[in-house]
Structure 1
Amino acid sequence: MSRPLVVVLDDSQNVARASADWSPVEARADLRILSEAFASEEAVAAALADAEIIIPMRERTVFTASLLDRLPRLKLLATTGPRTSTLDIAACTARGIVVTNTGGSQVGAATSELAFALILASARGLGRADAAMHQGGWHEGVPLGEVVAGKRLGIVGLGKLGQRVARYAKAFDMEVVAWSQNLTDETAAAAGVRRVEKTELFATSDVISLHLVLSERTRGIVGEAELRAMKPGACLVNTARGPLVAERPFLERLQAGSIRAALDVYDKEPLPADHPLRGLPNVVLTPHLGYSAAPVFAEYYGESVENVVAFLDGNPIRVVNPEVLAG
C-alpha cells in the first residue's frame, strides 16, 4: 500500500524542518517541503497533483475552487494560523476536503513589534545606515534621523494589534490618535488614545500605521486623497496588507520624496525584483516578516504535525469545516 504524500508549502525561509519534530508524520507518510513561490495556478496544480495532505503557510498560496478542482487526491488542507482569507473553505467542504488550523498566540506580538521596529527604522534611517556599514562606509549617505518622542502616531484600525502599537508608542512618549470605520470615542478612550476623523489623522500625523483586515470594504482605504493630505516627510507604515493602499498614487508620492514609508506587505508577493519600491531611499522594506518569528512557526508547524497525525488516525482535530465529517 502506497504511503500518502504530505507537502509543506511556501517555506521561503527554509525553517519548516527545524521548527517542529516531523518524525510522527514521516513514520506514516512521505514528506516534501517546497520553498519557492508559485508563478501561476497551473504551477501549483502541477506541483501538488499527487498530494493528499497540504500544509500551506497562511496566505502565501491561494486555494481557489478552480485550483481545488485540479487536486483530485487532496484530502486534508492543514492550514497554519487560526484563519486565512485565501482558502475557499466552502469549496473544500463541497469536495470533501477537511480543513484544519492552528493557534497563533504569538502572532499579535510578533507583528506589532515589527510595526514599531519599522517606525524606528524609518525615523533613524537604519536601513541606509546598515547598508553603508556593510559596504565599508560610515556616515556617507546616511540622513540625520528624527526623534519619535513628542510626535503624533495615527493608527488606522484600533484592534488588538493597533492597541499594542499604541501602547508601545506611548512608552516612547508619542501622542496617539486613531480612526477606523467603526471606532467609537469610548473604544478609543478605553485604549488610552483619542479618536479623530480620518481626514485629521492623515493631515496631522507624523507617522501613520495600518492595522486593518483586508476586505472589499477596506481595499484602497488609503487612497490618493489621504496620501496627498499627509504632512511632508510623514511616514506610512504598513504591516497589515498591501492592497489597503492605492499603489499608483502611493508610488507617486514616494517617488516625489513627499513622504516616507516602512513596508512589510505588498500588492504582489514576493515583491518583484524590478519593482520601483526597491530603488527608493525613503522607503524601508522587509519581506513580509510580521508573523515570521521562531515561536510563531514552532506553534504553526508543531500543531500542523498534530493535525496531520490525527487525520491519519481517523480522528481529525482543530477542524474548521466540521460539517465535512458528517458527509
Structure 2
Amino acid sequence: MAPKVLVSDKLSETAVQIFRDRGIDVDFQPDLGKDKDKLAEVIGQYDGLAIRSATKVTAKILENATNLKVIARAGIGTDNIDKEAASKKGVIVMNTPFGNMITTAEHAIAMMFAVARQLPEASASTHAGKWEKSKFMGVELTGKTLGVIGAGNIGGIVCDRARGLKMKVIAYDPFLSEAKADKMGVEKVELDDLLKRADFITLHVPLTDQTRNILSRENLEKTKKGVRIINCARGGLVDENALADLLKSGHVAGAAFDVFAQEPATENPLFGLPNVVCTPHLGAATTEAQENVALQVAEQMSDYLLTGAVTNALNMPSVTAEEAKVMGPWIKLADNLGAFIGQMTDEPIKAINILYDGVVSEMNLGALTSAAVAGIMKSVNPEVNMVSAPVVAKERGVKISTTKQDKSGAFEGYIKLTVVTDQRERSIGGTVFSDGKPRFIQIKGINIDAEIGRHMLYTTNKDEPGIIGTLGQTMGENGVNIANFTLGRSAAGGEAIALLYVDAQVSPDVIAKLDATGKFQQIRSLEFDVA
C-alpha cells in the first residue's frame, strides 16, 4: 500500500504533484491546518504531514497520530510543532533550512539600500504631492564598511553581495576561521572592533542565550556615530528601546528592521521614528523561496517514506531503525560530548577530531560524528541538526577527522572528542555503561566517572584542601541541590576538576560567589539534553 501524506497548508501544486509522481497517496487540504479539531480527528489516517506555519502540531494532535512517521515543515521555523511530543511518539520532524537563504539575504541588501537613501519616506512624501528633494540626503554604499554579525549561510551571501557593491566587509562570527574569511574576501574581527568601525551593521545569527541582545545598549553606544543597523534575522537580537534612544539622539543615523522582539508587531519603540524602515517579517516572502521550500519538502518526505533516507531531520540521526536500537545511547553520548565542548569553547574552532575505540568503532560513524558536531554547534546555533552540522562546520572552515581503533583500554568502547583552536586543544572522553547510560570518563586527560545530568557545574582548580567544602557550602547557601559530585586530578597538588550534577541551572550570582573565593581557575554552568 502506498504511503499516505496529508498536506494541511498551502503548498504549491508543483510540490503536490511531486508526491503523486513518486507514488505517494497525497491528500491536499490546504485549509485543514486552521481547524485543529478536524486535524486531530483525521491525522491517524496518514503516514506523513506536510505543513507551513498555519498548522499547529500539538501534543493532542500527535496523540491521535497512530500511523504518522514524519512531519515536514516547508521553511526553517518549527515552533508550531511540539518536537518533544513528536520525538516521544517516534515521529521525525524535518524542515528545509536552506530554501530561503538567497531571498533573506537579498531582503537585507534591499533594506540597506532603503535606509541609506531614505527611500520609504521619500516615496511617501512624493506620493503626498511634496517635492522635498533637499530633505532626503542619503549616503553611498560604495566604499563604506559593512559589519556582518554572523557569517554563516545567509550572512555569507550578504558578504558576497556587499563585496560586489564595493563595500569593505568585516565579519564577526565565533565559528569563522581566518582561512574561510580570506576565501570569502572579508576581514574577521572581534565584536568590539566591528562596532567601532562599521558604517552599516547587519545581523545574521539565530536567537540564543549567547546572541540575545547582542546589540545591547552598551554595545550600541560603542558604535560609530552615524551607523545604520539592519536586522532581518531574529527579533530580540537588538535592544529596541536603546536603539530608539540612539536614533533620537542622532548617534544612529538609521535602522531597517524586518523582525521584532514581539510579533506581530502592532506597536514598537522604533515605529514612527525618522529613517527607520520596517517590514512585517518578509525575509522569506518571495515566490521563488516559497516554491523552493515546498519542492524540498515534497522530495524529502517522499525519500523518507519510500526509501528510509532522512534529510534535514531535527530530532533523529541518519540511521536505520535496526541501527538506532544499538546506537541510541552512543548517539546521545556523542551529542553530550559535543555539547560539553561547545559550551566550554568561546574562540573559533579550527578542527574537530574524534576517536572511536572498541565496539563503537564498528557502528555508523557518520551518524555519531554528526551527533558530536551538532552538539558542538548547537551551543551557538540551536537550529543546527545532525544532518546540517557537518555542512555548517565545513562552511566555517572547520576540519573534521575521525579515527577508529580496536579496544585499547578498560572499556568495551569509548569516544574521545578533541577540538583545536588557535589558543588550545580541549578534549573529553565518554562511554556507555551496560545500563545504557552515557558517562563522561575523561576531561583534559584527567580520569573521572561522571553521570550526565540536565544541569551541571564544571570547575577547575589547583588540587588543595577546601574545594569540596567551598562548592558544597556555596551550593547549599544558595538553594542549589547537588545530585552527584565527581572529582578528578592530574596528580596530588596538580590540576583538579569537579563536575557537579545539580537539580537546577546554576545562576550567574552563584557563579560570581564561587569566583569571588579566588579558589577556582574556571567555573562554567552547563546544560545537556538528556531526554
TM range (shorter): 0.7 to 0.9
Match of 2:148 among 152, 155, 166: 155
Match of 2:93 in 1: 99
Aligned equivalents of 1:45, 1:281: Cα separation in 2: 42
Pairwise mapping of residues 276-287 of structure 1 onto structure 2 (< 5 A)?
276-287=269-280
Match of 1:11 in 2: none
- Asked if the contact 2:6–2:26 (Cα under 8 Å) also holds between the matched residues in 1, the reply is no
Deviation for aligned residue 1:82:
6.1
Deviation for aligned residue 1:236:
0.8
- Asked if the contact 1:128–1:142 (Cα under 8 Å) also holds between the matched residues in 2, the reply is no
- Asked if the contact 1:132–1:138 (Cα under 8 Å) also holds between the matched residues in 2, the reply is yes
Match of 2:211 in 1: 218
Match of 1:29 in 2: 27
Match of 1:194 in 2: 187
> TM-score, normalized by length of structure 1?
0.76
- Asked if the contact 2:5–2:49 (Cα under 8 Å) also holds between the matched residues in 1, the reply is no
Match of 1:166 in 2: 159
Q: Secondary structure at the match of 2:141?
A: coil
Q: Secondary structure at the match of 1:300?
A: helix
Q: Aligned in 2, Cα 1:169/1:253: closer, same or farther, shift over 3 Å?
A: same
Aligned equivalents of 1:147, 1:137: Cα separation in 2: 24
Q: Secondary structure at the match of 1:93?
A: helix
**How many residue pairs end up in the alignment?**
304
Structure 2 gaps, min length 5: 326-531
Deviation for aligned residue 1:265:
1.4
Match of 2:259 among 239, 242, 265: 265
- Asked if the contact 1:155–1:209 (Cα under 8 Å) also holds between the matched residues in 2, the reply is yes
Q: Aligned in 2, Cα 1:7/1:246: closer, same or farther, shift over 3 Å?
A: same
Q: Which residue identity does 1:262 align to in structure 2?
A: A
Aligned equivalents of 2:227, 2:195: Cα separation in 1: 9
Q: Secondary structure at the match of 2:8?
A: strand
Q: Aligned in 2, Cα 1:290/1:225: closer, same or farther, shift over 3 Å?
A: same
Aligned equivalents of 1:231, 1:73: Cα separation in 2: 56
Percent identity of paired positions between Structure 1 and Structure 2: 30
Q: Aligned in 2, Cα 1:178/1:73: closer, same or farther, shift over 3 Å?
A: same
Match of 1:81 among 50, 63, 75: 75
Q: Aligned in 2, Cα 1:185/1:5: closer, same or farther, shift over 3 Å?
A: closer
Match of 1:57 among 52, 57, 71: 52
- Asked if the contact 2:258–2:281 (Cα under 8 Å) also holds between the matched residues in 1, the reply is yes
Aligned equivalents of 2:50, 2:134: Cα separation in 1: 44
Q: Secondary structure at the match of 2:64?
A: coil
Deviation for aligned residue 1:144:
0.9
Pairwise mapping of residues 73-152 of structure 1 onto structure 2 (< 5 A)?
73-74=64-65, 75=68, 76-81=70-75, 84=78, 87-102=81-96, 104-105=98-99, 107-139=100-132, 142-152=135-145
> Is residue 7 of structure 1 aligned with residue 2 of structure 2?
no
Deviation for aligned residue 1:145:
0.9
Q: Secondary structure at the match of 2:29?
A: strand
RMSD: 3.6
- Asked if the contact 2:117–2:138 (Cα under 8 Å) also holds between the matched residues in 1, the reply is yes
Point out the more displaced range, 201-210 or 95-104: 95-104
- Asked if the contact 1:261–1:282 (Cα under 8 Å) also holds between the matched residues in 2, the reply is yes
Aligned equivalents of 2:87, 2:231: Cα separation in 1: 34
Match of 1:68 in 2: 59
Match of 1:205 among 198, 201, 205: 198
Aligned equivalents of 1:162, 1:310: Cα separation in 2: 30
Q: Which residue identity does 2:258 align to in structure 1?
A: D
> TM-score, normalized by length of structure 2?
0.50
Q: Aligned in 2, Cα 1:5/1:183: closer, same or farther, shift over 3 Å?
A: closer
Q: Aligned in 2, Cα 1:147/1:314: closer, same or farther, shift over 3 Å?
A: closer
Q: Secondary structure at the match of 2:71?
A: strand
Deviation for aligned residue 1:307:
5.9
Structure 1 or 2, whichever has the larger Rg, is 2
Aligned equivalents of 1:243, 1:214: Cα separation in 2: 7
Q: Which residue identity does 2:193 align to in structure 1?
A: E
Q: Secondary structure at the match of 2:163?
A: helix
Deviation for aligned residue 1:235:
0.7
Match of 1:241 among 227, 231, 234: 234
Match of 1:299 among 292, 316, 321: 292
Aligned equivalents of 1:317, 1:267: Cα separation in 2: 37
- Asked if the contact 1:125–1:142 (Cα under 8 Å) also holds between the matched residues in 2, the reply is no
Aligned equivalents of 1:179, 1:286: Cα separation in 2: 25
- Asked if the contact 2:7–2:51 (Cα under 8 Å) also holds between the matched residues in 1, the reply is no
> Is residue 288 of structure 1 aligned with residue 281 of structure 2?
yes
Q: Aligned in 2, Cα 1:296/1:4: closer, same or farther, shift over 3 Å?
A: closer
Structure 1 residues 123-169: Cα deviation after superposition (integer angstroms, max 9, x where no partner):
01111122233334433695211111121111111223222222222
Aligned equivalents of 1:182, 1:216: Cα separation in 2: 16
- Larger relative strand fraction: 2
